[in-house]
């Protein structure tokens, strides 16, 4: 293996990693999880490019309140795009991901931090797949 390969992050980011969820009141494990893509994934990079394009449009807005709301919206969209699977009964959909991120800001914050931790995605690649939770029968990958 070439020494260069040790720096390749795209494939592991595209495969994603599991973020285990804890109870917001107790901090105890819940058994629930979310599979997220990494910051070096194709999906995240494309969404980032769109964020930059929309940022130019937002900068041209005259109303400061609208600017703030638009910035928050595109930041939320960027995070929502990395959620590709979960253990909840409902299948993953853009609307449900947005609802989860809005109503459970602690999960949004955890995803925001986790998506940028490249080591998290390398750990997944080095472990065998038996340690990865299986999707529920009603969950789907996007």
Indicate the domain borders of the chain: 32-131
Section 109-129 average pLDDT? 76
Q: How confident is the model at residue 126 (pLDDT cuts 50, 70, 90)?
A: very low
For residue 85 the two structure tokens come to: 């699977």
| Residue 41, number of CB atoms within 10 A of its CB | 24
Q: How confident is the model at residue 131 (pLDDT cuts 50, 70, 90)?
A: very low
Section 29-53 average pLDDT? 94
CA torsion angle 49 81 106 111 (round to 10):
-70
- Considering the chain, what percentage of its residues have pLDDT values greater than 90? 59
What pLDDT, on the 0 to 100 scale, is given for residue 138?
Answer: 38
Distance (Å, whole) CA 79 – CA 46: 12
| Residue 103, number of CB atoms within 10 A of its CB | 9
Summary mean pLDDT of the chain: 86
Section 18-35 average pLDDT? 96
Q: What is the pTM of this model?
A: 0.78
Q: How confident is the model at residue 130 (pLDDT cuts 50, 70, 90)?
A: very low
* Largest pairwise CA distance in the chain: 54
| Residue 93, number of CB atoms within 10 A of its CB | 12
| Residue 12, number of CB atoms within 10 A of its CB | 22
**87 three-class SS:** coil
Section 91-96 average pLDDT? 96
Q: Let me know: does 115 contact 101? Beta carbons within 8 Å.
A: no
**31 three-class SS:** strand
Q: How confident is the model at residue 1 (pLDDT cuts 50, 70, 90)?
A: low
pLDDT greater than 50 at residue 63: yes
**8 three-class SS:** coil
């Amino acid at each position: 293996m070439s020494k260069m390969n040790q720096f390749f992050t795209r494939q592991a980011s595209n495969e994603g990693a599991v973020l285990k969820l804890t109870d917001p009141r107790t901090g105890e494990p819940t058994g629930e999880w979310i599979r997220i893509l990494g910051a070096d994934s194709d999906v995240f990079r494309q969404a980032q490019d769109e964020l930059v394009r929309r940022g130019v449009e937002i900068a041209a807005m005259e109303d400061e309140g609208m600017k703030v709301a638009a910035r928050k919206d595109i930041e939320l969209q960027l995070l929502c795009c990395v959620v590709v699977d979960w253990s909840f009964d409902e299948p993953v959909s853009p609307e449900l991901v947005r609802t989860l991120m809005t109503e459970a800001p602690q999960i949004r914050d955890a995803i925001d931090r986790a998506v940028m931790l490249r080591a998290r995605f390398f750990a997944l690649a080095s472990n065998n797949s038996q340690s990865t939770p299986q999707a529920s029968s009603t969950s789907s990958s996007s």
